[in-house]
């Protein structure tokens, strides 16, 4: 925590804890369950994408070419949600921890955190591992980080 006298610090920390709770529920609160006779290893193989921009490109194609009207809302929610839902983290982290004001430290810590979340989703079968989620989540956090640095008055940063 910072050494500054900030009267909003307890509220910001509380807000961050609420945000983390909501994100944990969104990321791990739904179970995909076992699919008809598949082994754990088969489930893992079906729930992994290591090709950068594959999901993004496919969802963007569905949205722009309207190839499947029923999938368009899912594609928009997936792409937008993976960015928008992580913007608050990028804004809150540098407000709470002074060390997170350095972009490289911030980016490394966020990248590692998202990687761990993706791996937990994969191995718990409560989601999938998609490198595109990592890319979109980091982009969202970076937008929040940039917003923090552009729009937080200098007096609140020190």
Whole-number Å distance between alpha carbons of 41 and 123: 10
Whether 4 has a pLDDT exceeding 60, the answer reads no
Per-residue pLDDT tens digits for 24-37 = 999 988 665 555 67
Give the helix ranges, DSSP H, for the chain.
Answer: 9-28, 40-46, 54-65, 72-84, 87-96, 103-124, 131-151, 154-157
* Sequence-distant (≥ 6) Cβ neighbours of residue 142 within 8 angstroms: 90, 107, 110
* C-alpha dist (Å) from residue 80 to 25, 56, 74, 137: 18, 11, 10, 10
Question: What mean pLDDT is reported for the chain?
Answer: 90
Whether 6 has a pLDDT exceeding 70, the answer reads no
* Sequence-distant (≥ 6) Cβ neighbours of residue 16 within 8 angstroms: 92, 93, 96
Per-residue pLDDT tens digits for 64-91 = 999 999 999 999 999 999 999 999 999 9
The stretch 5-11 carries a mean pLDDT of 75
Per-residue pLDDT tens digits for 88-135 = 999 999 999 999 999 999 999 999 999 999 999 999 888 899 999 999
């Amino acid at each position: 925590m910072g050494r500054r006298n900030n009267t909003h610090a307890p509220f910001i920390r509380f807000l961050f804890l609420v945000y983390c709770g909501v994100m944990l529920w969104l990321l791990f609160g739904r179970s995909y369950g076992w699919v008809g006779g598949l082994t754990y290893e088969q489930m893992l193989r079906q729930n992994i994408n290591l090709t950068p921009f594959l999901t993004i490109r496919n969802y963007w194609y569905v949205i722009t070419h309207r190839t499947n009207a029923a999938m368009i809302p899912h594609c928009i929610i997936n792409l937008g949600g993976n960015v928008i839902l992580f913007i608050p983290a990028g804004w809150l982290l540098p407000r709470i921890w002074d060390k997170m004001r350095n972009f490289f430290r911030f980016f490394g810590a966020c990248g590692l955190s998202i990687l761990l979340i993706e791996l937990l989703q994969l191995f718990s079968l409560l989601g999938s591992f998609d490198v595109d989620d990592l890319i979109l989540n980091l982009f969202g956090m970076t937008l929040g980080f940039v917003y923090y640095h552009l729009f937080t008055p200098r007096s609140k940063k020190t």
